[in-house]
Structure 1
Amino acid sequence: MRTARFIGSWLAGLVSLSAAVLLFVLWLRFVIGTAGDGTPLPLLLLIGFGINLLVWSLVGVLRLADQAVHKVMRREPATIVRRRNAPRPAGSVPRHQKQRVLVASRGGDGGDGDRPAPGGGPPGPDTGTGPGTVRAPENATDPETISLAVIIPAHNEEVVIDGAIRSALRLFNRWDIYVVSDSSRDATADIAAQTGVNILELLTNLGKAGAIEAVIQEFDLIENYDGVAILDADTELDENYVEGVRRQFKDATVAAVAGFVVAEWKPQQRTVMGRLISAYRDRLYWLLQYLLRFGQTWRFTSVSFIVPGFASTYRTSVLQHLEINPKGLVIEDFNMTFEVHHKRLGRISMEPDTKAYSQDPFTLRDYRSQVKRWTLGFWQTVRRHGVWPSLFWFALFFYILEVVLVSVLLIITALIGVFVLPPTLIGDAVLGVGWYAEGYTAVSAVLPLSTVAVGLFVPDYMLTCIIAMIRRRPSYLFYGLFFLPMRLLDSYLTLRTIPQAWTAKSDGRWKSPERAALKP
């Protein structure tokens, strides 16, 4: 069976590669054939690929070269890293030992436990004295001694919370895992309590940022740990996640580690729409992380504008300076990242081997709601922090400029394509309508339907073929036919939420989308 799967995966890769090469040849012939006739192909290429991806991809290549040279120069022996936080000696009992399991609305017993104290060694001294002066713990250069806590905020997540906790239990001791049920109306808190981890149940719905803030304060996590990992309730950690975080925290300038998101691919649990969304997200994550964020998180750049909230880890010496839950924001991860940059608390780090798996929406309604929430949160964060002179904002400005420009051009181009499509579908009879005939002649003289199709769809689909080859999933060749409409939806929501960032009132509360149980 393994041999058959191996052969099948390679055949899928070859089919995808062949499709990509064929499309490139056809597209190149079209470009050469239309050269000099005024066809705006460069504009369509901007829409299809973008300048930011090209620039940051080149920076990413420089980062690879720098890492190779750095590795050769150091020639350090491999570091042995424990996967779990080792318990402290029995006599070491911090103030945090007064913790209790809070399941107030369930009538749970909040007795004190005899469990070992949290962490994998004594916490680093609190030496931060203000923005720009935060110093990492003294043991930051020894990955083996960095103690980590895990926070899992959850609101009505009874379907997935057990899987998320068990995923964390493979890498952490149960007393280092903290679940905060944000006024859940289902069995989220009860299921979490059965696993033996720390539980905090909020009787008032505070939203994700408020829940994170509450559990940090309740259990004194900043005083008892060197770092805090924040996971979504549907996140599954890769077995190398903790090792990767500790290795990156070895660099004392790293303030936060961004998890490398991988779209969960379990097609048997999804409808056709759910598979389309998952495939589209997989392509998007791959492009953004390898071609954009990898270059942005180089030690000489550090301009990444997001530490994704699905799996992020912050130094506690940095976390204590962040305003985690400011009023008026719908999500927390953009704001926390901007805070790190704005207060000059350190740099953002990301490595592809420090990954975790995320469950994407199953329905188009949930997808639309999630994207709207993400884009609104981004614009709200831009509004809140404003502009300050920095390399971060220099890079962010051109990113925002391109996102807005490409979104507008993509929607306009799609509308033009729809406008000139009727004669192809129903014949030239429609050209008998005077106003339409005049408009069709004028528009098609500049941007005929063939140019829209080849110049816009083909480059986008070539990217899909490349991802299908890399991921060895031939089904992407089918789902990729519908990725352009998904991009149109993303562009529409991006533009729509810009004015809402200045008008919408947000309290950070969220409604969980449809979920499927996390299975091993």
Structure 2
Amino acid sequence: MRIVRFVGGLLVGSFALALAVALFVFWFDFATDMAAAAGLGPVGYVFLWLAFGANLLLWTVIGLLRLGDDSVRAVLRRDSTAGARPAVRSRERVLVGSGGSAGAGGEGADTDTAVATTGGEAPPDASLAVIIPAHNEEPVIGGAISSALGLFPRWDIYVVSDSSKDSTADIAAKTGVNVLELLTNRGKAGAIEAVIEEFSLTDNYDGVLILDADTELDAGYVEGARRQLRDPGVAAVAGFVVSEWKPNERTFIGRMISAYRDRLYFMLQYLMRFGQTWRGTNASFIVPGFASVYRSEALREIEVNPKGLVIEDFNMTFEVHHKRLGRISMNPDTKAYSQDPFTFVDYRKQVGRWTLGFWQTVRRHGVWPSMFWFFLGLYILEVVVVSLILLLTTLIAGFVLVGTLAGASFVAVPFVGTSFTAVSAFLPLTALAMGLLIPDYMLTCAMTAIRRRPSYLIYGLLFFPIRVVDAFITLKMLPKAWTAESDGRWSSPDRVAKK
């Protein structure tokens, strides 16, 4: 059966890759012919590649430079440590007994906790506290705690129930972890601030892992995070988000959202943030709040819960850069699995919160001279311009499509018919389809080849409307960030218990 799945996946990947190459050749030939006909020359080729995003191309190139740099450093480290006497390691503490049925997962993790005891060797691993802020997360809080207990002892896990009206706090308490229940709804940032203060976490631990209640950690997450924290210049380790793919638990819309997010996360992390978190750039503008680690000495300097912000992770990241607390690190070895929205309404609300939070953070911190803001400015410029162009071009395409389908009766309408003739002559429907749909679907085909999931070829046909919605939300939330104040309180989307 395993061989059948392997062969099937290989065939799917090969077909999707071939389709992506065929579409690229077809699109490139069509686009270059149009550019030549318009007399654009070399400028036309520049605009062709910008169809995939200027920032995406820039950071992909920088990411390749980082890959080479990391490879050279890894070789040098191996050479420098060759023949070195191995460090004598001793257990830091051993958990005896169990505080609850879910505590067994923490026992195995705790007995493996170790520190170096010989001088001149690698520094000891950072001690980490796990914070899980939750508000009405009864369906998923048990899964998040169980995931954390597989990697941490229960006394290092701190659940803060932000005035939950369900059994969130009770479920957490039965696992034996530390639980703080807030009587007043403070929002996620306020809950994080409260649990840090209540247990003096930044004084008692080297770092703090912030974990969403719907997130599950990969088995290698802690090892990867601690490896990155051994660099004293690292202030925060950004988690590497992976969309949870459980198609049997989702409707068609839910599967489409999850597939779209999978493609988006892959591109953003491998093709952008990997380059942005290179030691030579340090330009990442987000340490995702779903599963990321902050060094305690940096976290003490961060204003976690300022007034007027709807979410915390953009602000905390900007604080690291603005106060020069260190650099942000990200590697694919800190994977964690996140549950995407199940309905389009929840998706729209979530994207709205994220986008509003980003613009509010830009408003709060303003501009300061730095490489970070130089690259952030390029990103903002592209996001705004591309969103405007995407919406405008979509409206034009809709207008041309209606005119093409309606035929002579549409052309006969005064002014409308004249406008249709002029627009369709300059931007025929074929050109609009090639410019809007083909580059986007090429990326979907590439993602299908990587994931070996043939259903992505179906869901990918509907990704473009989601991009249009994203562009609309981006522009809608821009003025709202300067006109509306937020209290950070949350309302959790529909959740499904993880199996």
Q: TM-score, normalised by structure 2?
A: 0.91
Equivalent residue number for residue 36 of structure 1: 36
Query: Quick one: distance in 1 between partners of 2:122 and 2:303?
Result: 28
Q: Aligned pair in 2 of structure 1 residues 176, 467: CA closer, same or farther (>3 Å)? A: same
Instruction: Tell me which amino acid in the other structure corresponds to 1:87.
Output: R
Query: Quick one: distance in 1 between partners of 2:268 and 2:85?
Result: 30
2:437 is paired with a residue whose SS is helix
Q: Which runs of structure 2 are paired with 1:293-312 in the superposition (5 Å)?
A: 293-312=273-292
Q: Aligned pair in 2 of structure 1 residues 240, 174: CA closer, same or farther (>3 Å)? A: same
Q: Aligned pair in 2 of structure 1 residues 89, 436: CA closer, same or farther (>3 Å)? A: closer
Equivalent residue number for residue 386 of structure 1: 366
Q: How far does residue 140 in structure 1 lie from its aligned partner after superposition?
A: 13
2:421 is paired with a residue whose SS is helix
Q: How far does residue 341 in structure 1 lie from its aligned partner after superposition?
A: 0.3
Query: Quick one: distance in 2 between partners of 1:158 and 1:506?
Result: 25
Q: Which runs of structure 2 are paired with 1:119-268 in the superposition (5 Å)?
A: 142=122, 144-268=124-248
Deviations along 1:348-367, one digit per CA (max 9) or x if unpaired, are 00001211011010000000
Equivalent residue number for residue 51 of structure 1: 54
Query: Quick one: distance in 2 between partners of 1:512 and 1:80?
Result: 48
Query: Quick one: distance in 2 between partners of 1:85 and 1:331?
Result: 39
Counterpart of 1:469 (choices 404, 428, 449) is: 449
Q: How far does residue 35 in structure 1 lie from its aligned partner after superposition?
A: 3.2
Counterpart of 1:498 (choices 478, 483, 489) is: 478
Q: How far does residue 298 in structure 1 lie from its aligned partner after superposition?
A: 0.1
1:145 is paired with a residue whose SS is coil
Deviations along 1:8-55, one digit per CA (max 9) or x if unpaired, are 111110121121122112212312432333399769746741100001
Q: How far does residue 143 in structure 1 lie from its aligned partner after superposition?
A: 5.7
1:166 is paired with a residue whose SS is helix
**Aligned residues of 1:140 and 1:251 also touching (Cα < 8 A):** no
Query: Quick one: distance in 2 between partners of 1:504 and 1:216?
Result: 28
Query: Quick one: distance in 1 between partners of 2:277 and 2:242?
Result: 18
Query: Quick one: distance in 2 between partners of 1:175 and 1:185?
Result: 25
Deviations along 1:205-260, one digit per CA (max 9) or x if unpaired, are 00000000000011111111001000100001000000000000011000000000
Counterpart of 1:438 (choices 412, 415, 418) is: 418
**Aligned residues of 1:120 and 1:146 also touching (Cα < 8 A):** no
Query: Quick one: distance in 2 between partners of 1:178 and 1:358?
Result: 19
**Aligned residues of 2:403 and 2:420 also touching (Cα < 8 A):** no
RMSD of the TM alignment (CA)? 2.6
Q: Where in structure 1 are there 5+ consecutive unaligned residues?
A: 91-116, 123-138
Q: How far does residue 429 in structure 1 lie from its aligned partner after superposition?
A: 2.8
Q: TM-score, normalised by structure 1?
A: 0.87
2:130 is paired with a residue whose SS is strand
Equivalent residue number for residue 93 of structure 2: 87
Deviations along 1:69-97, one digit per CA (max 9) or x if unpaired, are 1111121469999xx9943899xxxxxxx
**Aligned residues of 1:39 and 1:451 also touching (Cα < 8 A):** no
**Aligned residues of 1:141 and 1:252 also touching (Cα < 8 A):** no
Instruction: Tell me which amino acid in the other structure corresponds to 1:33.
Output: D
Counterpart of 2:75 (choices 72, 76, 82) is: 72
Query: Quick one: distance in 1 between partners of 2:256 and 2:86?
Result: 41
2:415 is paired with a residue whose SS is helix
**Aligned residues of 1:45 and 1:456 also touching (Cα < 8 A):** no
Residue 356 (structure 2) pairs with residue 350 (structure 1): no
Instruction: Tell me which amino acid in the other structure corresponds to 1:24.
Output: F
Residue 261 (structure 2) pairs with residue 271 (structure 1): no
Query: Quick one: distance in 2 between partners of 1:261 and 1:403?
Result: 22
Instruction: Tell me which amino acid in the other structure corresponds to 2:357.
Output: G
Query: Quick one: distance in 2 between partners of 1:281 and 1:33?
Result: 34
Equivalent residue number for residue 101 of structure 1: none
1:62 is paired with a residue whose SS is helix
Identity of paired residues, percent? 64
Query: Quick one: distance in 1 between partners of 2:67 and 2:277?
Result: 12
Q: How far does residue 425 in structure 1 lie from its aligned partner after superposition?
A: 2.6
Query: Quick one: distance in 1 between partners of 2:181 and 2:152?
Result: 21
**Aligned residues of 2:13 and 2:449 also touching (Cα < 8 A):** yes
Equivalent residue number for residue 14 of structure 2: 14
Q: Aligned pair in 2 of structure 1 residues 85, 168: CA closer, same or farther (>3 Å)? A: farther
Equivalent residue number for residue 413 of structure 1: 393
